[in-house]
Amino acid sequence: MESEKVVPTDRELKGLELSGQVTVDLIQHAQESDAADRLLTIRQALKKYKKAVFWAMLLSTALIMEGYDVVIITSFYGQTQFTDRFGVVDKKTGKKLIPPAWQSGLSNSALVGQLAGLLANAWTQDHFGCRPTMMFFMAWMAVAIFIPFFAPSLPVLAFGEAMCGVSWGVFQTLTTTYACEVVPVVLRPYVTAYVCMCWGAGILLSSGVVRAVAGVNGDLGWRLPFAIQWVWPVPLFIAAFLAPESPWNAVRRDKLDVAKKSLMRLRQDTPDKEREVEATLAYLRYVTELEKAETESASFIECFRGTNLRRTEINCVVWATQILCGNAILGYSVVFLEAAGFSELQAFDVNISLSACYIIGGIICWFLFPHVGRATIYMSGNAFMFCCLIVIGGLGWADGKSAQLAIGILLVISTLCNMITTGPACYPIVAETPSGRLRYKTISIGRFTYNLTGIFSNSVTPRMLSALSWNWGAKSGLFYAGTNLLCNIWCWYRLPETKDRSFGEIDLLFENRVPARKFRSTKVDPSYES
């Protein structure tokens, strides 16, 4: 198939020149900067931008806290110490259980807090920058942890989860946008996928902690895991204080001196460093002016107008698919495994294996990124998980140890597959598809959709699994096989391929309304000249 070619329109270029902020010289510098970085190999880029990679990865560790608590609260539903303190007696078995309504309430309270955090992040990053935003909400987090730690009842615990959720909502988008904005195109998928690995590291840590306190009697069995969260805020507050600001963020706020200082800190010392920084700064200003011509007011309303509506749609569905592909079951893995017939300790042991997949899968995905497109990785993972969910659901009608073992093995395999493909591939997709001026807002809207989808899944999944409600057990896999299939059909027709594309090229492809299936083959004129 013959490739199509896209160039900026005359209206765009003339509008930029009339603004008085972008000149022909700046555009030429922008071309040089973009072309030089796109010729770098991964090894050369790591050498040149190792400082940028360091800061991106360091600040991304904030996501460990969210991954830690999101799963630890669901693990408590299968923990004896927690159910003895807050549960009600099941008349059939005589055991204490957390009612499905409270399981939904506790899980959803954190998501409601995250919704508030997402809105706060979109505003604070645009007005104050990445670093001040992260420092403020790290301090918020340190104070909020006191509430669930000392919670005397489920309502207070739910309030504490909501307060902690505000800071998690901020970290969800801040870490992704910061990581993708401080490194060149060739390194972008690795640092954004690392964000997903940090989330998985939190899940692994929570699984190990819950298993470690299984023998601790009384309230300490569930309070100690909450206390461990105090390890993070102070060192990450210091890291944010010392980190360079995102140069993209600084340019969008017209802080050119801050942007230049950050660029000087983010790359290695070379004889041509000063000239390279000037060229990069010119490129940032150039792309920002291009985006201003498209979305001058840069408000939330602009995310739903023109070509930005398509970008927002992609962000929302890609985020929602993270849950609807079958991850909702993985979030309730301990309760799911117990409902399938595993003992409490067996469920905790398998859960550790599931959580380890988040780290192993992320590393394997790094080796796929140079060779396979993001959309291909994303859809392939969904398709494989669909097959696993069908088999898991079918085993819901089988009895015996063999069926239990098969369910446990399939959960581990599907989790590993998810974390090699769909999980990490999501992050570069959602970071690359929005326009720069609307990036924080678009990702926040997408993550907002993710949390709303999480509220839905947290409302129905406990009822599917609980003996006090629908009691579907492993048959729940069939429900999420259906949602997985719908999401993958959408991906086939609507998800564009952004591999090896600069932000400027992606802007032009969307501006010229190139269909998703032609994103890979369409050539963008690198000259940026009319």
Between 153 and 173, the more confident residue is 153
Residue of 29, 3, 41, 35 whose CA lies nearest to 526:
35
What value does the mean pLDDT of the chain take?
83
The residue to which tokens 């890609």 are assigned: 318
Model pTM score: 0.71
Looking at residue 162, its pLDDT comes to 93
Gap between the Cα atoms of 255 and 252, Å rounded: 8
Gap between the Cα atoms of 41 and 186, Å rounded: 7
Angle between helices 401-420 and 422-432 (to 10 degrees): 30
Which domains are seen in the chain, by residue range? 21-524 (1.20.1250.20)
Contacts of 240 (CB under 8 A, 6+ apart): 59, 131, 134, 135, 138
Looking at residue 379, its pLDDT comes to 95
The pair of structure tokens assigned to 204 is 């692994």
- Strands 5-6 and 523-524, how do they pair? parallel
The pair of structure tokens assigned to 107 is 């899980």
Instruction: Determine the residue type at 169.
Output: G
Which range among 44-53, 400-409, 499-508 shows the weakest confidence by mean pLDDT? 400-409
407: helix, coil or strand? helix
- With cut-offs at 50, 70 and 90, classify the pLDDT of residue 135: very high
Looking at residue 209, its pLDDT comes to 86
Gap between the Cα atoms of 274 and 267, Å rounded: 10
CA-based torsion, 431, 432, 438, 442: positive or negative: negative
DSSP element (H, E) containing 6: strand 5-6
Looking at residue 92, its pLDDT comes to 74
The pair of structure tokens assigned to 54 is 């360091």
Residue 5, φ and ψ in degrees, nearest 5: -125, 135
Angle between helices 188-212 and 63-76 (to 10 degrees): 40
**Does residue 123 surpass a pLDDT of 80?**
yes
Highest averaged pLDDT of the listed ranges 21-35, 143-157, 274-288: 143-157
pLDDT per position as a tens digit, 5-28: 444 444 444 444 444 445 566 566
